[in-house]
Amino acid sequence: MPKKKLAVYTATGCAACENTILDIHYDLGSLTRSADIVFWPYVLGSQWDGLNEQGPVDVCFFAGAIRTEADRIAAVRLRSNSKLMVACGACAAFGGLPSLTDLHPETPENRPEHLDEGNEFLLPKLESRVFALEHIVDVDYFVPGCPPTRDFLWAAIQSLVYMGDSPTRISFTASRLPMALAESITSGIVPPRGSVFAGEKAVCASCSRIKEEKKFRGFYRPYEIDPDSGRCLLEQGILCQGLATREGCGGLCTAVGAACRGCFGKAEAVFDPGAKMVSAVSSTFDSTEASEIEGLTKTFVDLAGTFYRYTLATQCALRTPNAEEAKHAPDNS
Amino acid sequence: MRRTILEPLRWMEELARVMVIENGGPPKTFLQVMTKLNLSRMCIGRPVEELPRILTILSPAHHLVSAMALDSLFNVTPPPLAVNMRDALLQTLFFVRHMRKLYFFLSSHSNPFEDFSLSQRNIDQHSVPRDLIDQIMRHVALAQEATKILGGRADHPISAVPGGVSRFLKQPYYDRLSEIGRSCLSFSIKLARVLADLKPEELLYDFDIQPILSLTIPGNSNEVQVSDSSGELTCQFPADQIFEKIGFQKEPWTYKPFAFLKEKGWNSLDSEKVTSIYFVGPLARLKSQKEIGFPLSGENWKSFEDTFGSTPTFGIANAYRALQVEIFQAAGRMVDLYRQESLTGPVIRNIPTEIKGEGFAAIESPDGLIAHRYKTDSRGIVEEIEILDSATQNNALKCLIAKKVVEESADWNHDPKLTKVRIEEALLPF
Amino acid sequence: MTRFEPKIIAFLCNWCSYVAADAAGVSRFVQKPNVRVIRVFCSGMVDPSYVIKAFASGADGVLVAGCHPGDCHYLAGNIKALRRSFLLRKLLSELGVEEKRFRLEWIAASESPLYAKLMNEMIEDVRNLGPCMPSSQKPLKGVA
């Protein structure tokens, strides 16, 4: 089997995704006989002209949101050089935390600054809004999470490197993936485009907290109460997004007593995470009186910033950019 | 006019590059940070208790300082158990961060992901034993496991909440933590010896940087100390005045502003003598410390004193040594804090009862002093945030370093790649 | 300049409001042609995602109409719709959809004049507000 070539790149975001790849370093070492990391500016100091010399890359892991012209150019360049493009982490997959900036009401004072024309320092211009990778180029697979969990990232790397060639490795990896994905990689077929390397159900399915009947008369902000350990947070009146969010983290946050904020994006069956949460939360209101329900609703704050914390750019149906908007690089005037 | 661009810079958390412009005369060097997150737009309008989870995008230590700012905003004191757990997390973050930097540094001449048989063939005099690099990463992985236990997640922790932390530890965690702590400590002792043999100044292009001020918050005090290049205290002020004392200068060639001391006024980075810019971080702490709270016997301490003299000079190799000293300190503190006695207690968090409307906190993070200040309305919705990040504060220093490397290497444009490597190695420890 | 003609999506309950709308037509009440009616079996089945999808697909206003409280064919479906409406309206307004664009009304089968009146009223309200988020007429495919 010829060696596969991998590339890793981060646009606007933080280094957490790349650090997660570094954290699997010990296992990553075992890949060296089957794959080479040929482009990874953060760790290997690779340069762009080196990428062209390498010839086509087999799998590119792209992290970070598209915030500037430079991010867009990098995405296009890596796409044209790579056979498979993987959006790695919430920023690349859904816009992530950086896309929260677009929720802020736009007024002339806080409009993103564009630099003067003819800037001799060639500082890349900011895009009109924050885009996810799929708005700019075609994306083959997604590895969600902020940052992605080591397990799924490793599963994604292994599956795309071996792709049916090393049954022992693949069978272990496949055991963690959703069935359709697992079946295709064990039989050496490229998984369907758009597959997500994470679970299919909602986080609640793997959250260890006990869920009983959901009825509440009051909503609490996370600082106001110390939730009982072991009982569903939503039942205790804390806004937890587990039921609209894709499973795969194993209930990391809820296990620590912190509510889910949806960094894996929406679950497969959900249309819009905000709509799902509205429906789920309101059905738990233990009241039939309009005025009472209205009073209860008033205690909620910042619904959009909570429900779309990591996913505003792609999964908020009302905010997804139209094709025109994504196609154009920022205006140079 | 000739432009040379060295990009993308290795090991930078944000996308950055160096641009050299030659227009007759000496070359002009610019370190450009190519993107910005616009944090205030991200945070305004959010409930304030969510900020620790949002601002970890800067670095994991921002999670802790944000939670501390919330303590003051909600006027609540965390119980000792929570304070210890947060501190244990912070020390582990020091360990992870510095170890990673050393890993980057030591593996910089080889490809750590190269086929083993190939890498054996490529050994030159610069190569560091592969075994050492693997061991460093093994200990990073161990310490990451500890951050996961203490913080809930490794890179973006979630456990610190206003008034404490969100959950108790369970029995198996105590045993695991003390195992990790011991292993990290014994490795850091070994690492100190290996590094002394390797002599960092011979592995890189070492040079002294022009003297600038440094800012630190020593120990558990609440005073910010401004020290000059020899480590002498020049002035100090209460930490909560920091946003009044520090100004931010924006330049058209970079998205990252420059922090400077307001009372001295901004001087351009080109001026001969820069008086108002400063730096933060491990070397700043090491220089201003009169005595290092060392967890180990006097013998080890003495060997460090022999290497450094009383105050280390302001150079690149010493910045790497500072990392190593702090790894040592952090590992010692980790062993101390990971004991079951430190991490048990009757209460995990105190529930806030009021919202003061303004919160502030400042701590020493692995990369240097960081501070947060929030203003909220009566419901705790963020109206204004101010964040002092270590990268902004070291921005001026980093520009000076890039400039110096280009100026000092007369032949820089014959081999721009070498210049790039030199710049990267010099920027890494700050 | 041509006058802005808003598009209104009306989710009408099969047992009451749909009958009212039908009767309003039969009775030849004057109604503006801006409404697209979707018959549903109960206002309780109109999930918030239907409403959001309607707005995302270019609707300028959405009406959900059901039986008066207590009259629901399925006992309490309309109460379910009521429970959701407040939080949904809050979410919509945070995303830039003004409150008047989304209405929940109780219209019994016999109240066809009321239906015609409400519809005309809502069309004028929405017309005054202008098109809903003109920038995103054509949303891209969602993630995966």
- Among B47, B65, B71, B53, which Cα is nearest to B164's? B71
The token pair at A237 is 């009146």
**Which residues in chain A are contacts of B44 at CB distance < 8 A?**
104
So what's the pLDDT on residue B300?
59
Pairing state between β B368-376 and A82-88: unpaired
Instruction: Look at A165-169, A178-182, A219-223 and tell me which has the smallest mean pLDDT.
Output: A165-169
Binary contact (A195, C144; C-beta < 8 A): yes
**pLDDT digits 0-9 by tens, A107-141:** 444 444 544 444 677 888 888 889 999 999 999 99
Is the pLDDT higher at B93 or at A114? B93
Q: Which residue of A has its CA nearest to B58?
A: A14
Binary contact (A323, C137; C-beta < 8 A): no
What is the pLDDT confidence band of residue B291, given thresholds at 50, 70 and 90? low
Report the pLDDT averaged over residues B319-337. Answer: 89
Q: Which residue of C has its CA nearest to A246?
A: C144
State the CB neighbour count (10 A cutoff) for residue C1.
3
C83: nearest CB among A142, A285, A323: A285
Instruction: Look at A54-68, A250-264, B274-288 and tell me which has the smallest mean pLDDT.
Output: B274-288
* B154/B140 Cα distance (integer angstroms): 11
The token pair at B396 is 């001026």
**In the 3-class helix/strand/coil scheme, how is chain C assigned residue by residue?**
CCCCCCCEEEEEECCCHHHHHHHHHHCCCCCCCCEEEEEECCHHHCCHHHHHHHHHCCCCEEEEEECCCCCCCCCCHHHHHHHHHHHHHHHHHHCCCCHHHEEEEECCCCCHHHHHHHHHHHHHHHHHHCCCCCCCCCECCCCC
What is the pLDDT confidence band of residue A333, given thresholds at 50, 70 and 90? very low
So what's the pLDDT on residue B296?
53
Is the pLDDT higher at A321 or at A148? A148
Q: What is the CA radius of gyration of chain A?
A: 21
**pLDDT digits 0-9 by tens, B347-384:** 999 999 999 999 999 999 999 999 999 999 999 999 99
So what's the pLDDT on residue B81?
95
Percentage of chain A exceeding pLDDT 90 = 44
Torsion angle of alpha carbons B389, B391, B393, B396, nearest 10°? -160
> How far does Cα A164 stand from its chain's mean position?
26
So what's the pLDDT on residue A116?
44
* B187/B194 Cα distance (integer angstroms): 10
Start-to-end CA span in chain A (Å): 50
Contact B283, B312 (CB under 8 A): yes
**Which residues in chain B are contacts of A30 at CB distance < 8 A?**
none
Q: Which residue of A has its CA nearest to B18?
A: A121
C87: nearest CB among A297, A315, A321: A297
How high does pLDDT run on average in chain B? 87
* A214/A243 Cα distance (integer angstroms): 12
How high does pLDDT run on average in chain A? 85
Report the pLDDT averaged over residues B415-425. Answer: 88
**pLDDT digits 0-9 by tens, C50-70:** 999 999 888 999 999 999 999
What is the pLDDT confidence band of residue C17, given thresholds at 50, 70 and 90? very high
What is the pLDDT confidence band of residue B271, given thresholds at 50, 70 and 90? confident
* Contact residues for A289 (Cβ-Cβ < 8 A; gap 6+): none
**pLDDT digits 0-9 by tens, C24-40:** 999 998 888 899 999 99
Half-sphere exposure of A300 (CA within 13 A, CB side): 28
What is the pLDDT confidence band of residue B289, given thresholds at 50, 70 and 90? confident
* A216/A222 Cα distance (integer angstroms): 15
The token pair at A311 is 């996913």
DSSP state letter for B352: P
State the CB neighbour count (10 A cutoff) for residue B77.
12
* Contact residues for C16 (Cβ-Cβ < 8 A; gap 6+): C65, C66, C67, C68, C71, C107, C108, C109
> How far does Cα C108 stand from its chain's mean position?
15
Binary contact (C139, A317; C-beta < 8 A): yes
So what's the pLDDT on residue B307?
63
Percentage of chain B exceeding pLDDT 70 = 91
- Among B13, C97, B157, which Cα is nearest to A12's? B13
Contact B98, B366 (CB under 8 A): yes
Max Cα-Cα span within chain C: 49
Q: Which chains touch B (3 or more CB pairs under 8 A)?
A: A
- Which of A228-237, B6-15, C4-13: highest mean pLDDT? C4-13
The answer on pLDDT for C142 being more than 90 is no
The answer on pLDDT for C9 being more than 50 is yes
* Contact residues for A270 (Cβ-Cβ < 8 A; gap 6+): A202, A244, A276, C49
So what's the pLDDT on residue A87?
96
Contact A215, A286 (CB under 8 A): yes
State the CB neighbour count (10 A cutoff) for residue B17.
21
What is the pLDDT confidence band of residue B233, given thresholds at 50, 70 and 90? confident
Cβ–Cβ pairs < 8 A, chains A and C: 130
So what's the pLDDT on residue B418?
87
The token pair at B400 is 């000076």
* A191/A189 Cα distance (integer angstroms): 6
C72: alpha, beta or left, given left = phi > 0 and alpha = psi -120 to 50? beta
Contact A311, A246 (CB under 8 A): no
Q: What residue type is assigned to position B369 of the chain? A: L
So what's the pLDDT on residue A54?
81
Contact A59, A37 (CB under 8 A): no
The answer on pLDDT for A175 being more than 80 is no
State the CB neighbour count (10 A cutoff) for residue B236.
16
What is the pLDDT confidence band of residue A254, given thresholds at 50, 70 and 90? very high
User: What Cα–Cα distance (Å) separates residue B280 from each residue in A135, B284, B384?
Assistant: 39, 5, 25
Q: Identify the residue among A276, A278, A279 best suited for mutation to test binding to C, counting C beta carbons within 10 A and taking the highest.
A: A278
Binary contact (B46, A48; C-beta < 8 A): no
The answer on pLDDT for B143 being more than 90 is yes
Query: Does residue A24 sit at the C interface (CB-CB below 8 Å)?
Result: no
* Contact residues for A115 (Cβ-Cβ < 8 A; gap 6+): A123, A125, B252
**Which residues in chain A are contacts of C91 at CB distance < 8 A?**
274-275, 278, 303-304, 307
* A269/A266 Cα distance (integer angstroms): 8
At residue B38, the 3 state secondary structure works out as coil
* Contact residues for A314 (Cβ-Cβ < 8 A; gap 6+): A93, A94, A95, A132, A134, A135, A265, A320, C140, C142, C143
Q: DSSP for A152-212?
A: HHHHHHHHHHHTTS-HHHHHHHHTTS-HHHHHHHHTTPPPPTTEESS-SSBGGGT--SB--
- Among B427, B124, B97, B132, which Cα is nearest to B279's? B427
- Among C122, C127, C128, which Cα is nearest to C104's? C122
The token pair at A62 is 């792209």
So what's the pLDDT on residue C141?
33
Q: Which chains touch C (3 or more CB pairs under 8 A)?
A: A
Q: Phi and psi at residue B260, in whole multiples of 5°? A: -150, 165
So what's the pLDDT on residue B160?
94
Q: What residue type is assigned to position B301 of the chain? A: W
**pLDDT digits 0-9 by tens, B172-224:** 999 999 999 999 999 998 888 888 787 777 788 888 888 889 999 987 788 99
Report the pLDDT averaged over residues B259-280. Answer: 86
So what's the pLDDT on residue A328?
64
**Which contiguous run of DSSP H or E holds residue B18?**
strand B16-22
- Among A234, A230, A251, A17, which Cα is nearest to A144's? A17
**Which residues in chain A are contacts of B30 at CB distance < 8 A?**
121
* A4/A59 Cα distance (integer angstroms): 8
The token pair at B9 is 């810079």
At residue B230, the 3 state secondary structure works out as coil
The token pair at C107 is 């219209």
User: Which A-chain residues 128-147 have CB contacts (< 8 A) with chain C?
Assistant: 132, 134-135, 142
